[in-house]
Structure 1
Amino acid sequence: MTITMSEVSITCRLYLRVNGLVLWRMPLRAQLSYVPRENPYAVCLTFLSYPDQDSWWIDRDAFSAAFTRHVGKGSVRLGPLPGGRSPHLVISLRCADGEVNDLVVGAGRALEFLAETFELVPSGTESSALEAGLDDFLGRAS
């Protein structure tokens, strides 16, 4: 994976799970991306399988913590897959119509992705990345 200050991205395979039961195991093409000059506090999960490419922003620290404990409230909740043979993360998304979709992603690629984002912008230095992005936008030298 190549890291630049403007964008970091990785593609992960996700499996749709509804109410804890696997009803449909069709892989959804999705991409996790991190653009620190736009939002250093969050990662973006974009579904590439749909024509409109729906995206959800997820707090980076919460995403990282979710591999060991359940986090989040409201429309985005994350946590480890209970009873899984290998490490997986469950991402629960509540849509505007109230429907909840549980998506499962293997931990390996997602953890590698997160490690790269924290290497690029260490926790606690996000405001500096945001200021650099503002300087770029305003045409000022950083």
Structure 2
Amino acid sequence: MNTFVHKSLVVELQAGDTERFPVLAHLSYDPSDPFAVTVVFTLDGRVLARWQLDREMVTDGLTRPVGIGDVRLRPQARGVGRELRMEFLGEARADGGRHHAVVFAWAEAVGEFLAETHRMVPAGCEEVRVDDFLADVFAQR
């Protein structure tokens, strides 16, 4: 049995108001961190960005707008298909603004990935190992 779920997708990074270009998104899920989904965006083998997202938030983002902070997700229709629109706000820039990226992924592909994570650890069955977490915190003191 696999101990984690991984899926690579071609997604589109929006440049400007309308132009998009393809990049790879590597989604991964490790049941030892059951609430998180990690997304690494790459282009030509270079890592562009790495984000750790709340699994429930990504699931909800497929059907309704979610997020008010650095990550905002929402469904969006495109032609006959549906996309997941992911908006990321990053580090501050020298001009006082913040780095900003908008990425579009096919909702069906993201949904298939999430379904696999939910087969491994169903929603509501995630374990929180508070004792292990506290032991790690105190060990770092």
Q: Which amino acid aligns with 2:25?
A: A
Identity %: 30
**For residue 113 of structure 1, what is the aligned residue in structure 2?**
113
Q: Which amino acid aligns with 1:16?
A: L
- Dislocated runs of 4+, deviation >6 Å: none
- Check the 8 A contact 1:16/1:22 in 2, yes or no: no
Q: Which amino acid aligns with 2:27?
A: L
**Alpha carbons of structure 1 residues 52 and 28: separation in structure 2 relative to 1, 3 Å:** closer
**For residue 8 of structure 1, what is the aligned residue in structure 2?**
5
Deviation at residue 18 of structure 1 after TM alignment: 4.5
- Check the 8 A contact 2:75/2:107 in 1, yes or no: no
- 2:46 equivalent to 1:51: yes
In structure 2, the gaps of 5 or more residues are 93-97, 133-141
Distance in 2, matches of 1:18 and 1:69, equals 24
Distance in 2, matches of 1:79 and 1:52, equals 24
**Alpha carbons of structure 1 residues 75 and 42: separation in structure 2 relative to 1, 3 Å:** same
The total of aligned residue pairs comes to 124
TM-score, length-scaled by structure 2: 0.79
Distance in 1, matches of 2:23 and 2:48, equals 11
Structure with bigger RCO (C-alpha 8 Å, 6+ apart) = 1
Alignment root-mean-square deviation, CA: 2.0
Q: Which amino acid aligns with 2:9?
A: C
Q: Which amino acid aligns with 1:40?
A: P
**For residue 65 of structure 1, what is the aligned residue in structure 2?**
60
In structure 1, the gaps of 5 or more residues are 135-142
Deviation at residue 43 of structure 1 after TM alignment: 0.4
SS in structure 1 at match of 2:34:
coil
TM-score, length-scaled by structure 1: 0.78
Higher strand share: 2
**For residue 103 of structure 1, what is the aligned residue in structure 2?**
103
SS in structure 1 at match of 2:91:
coil
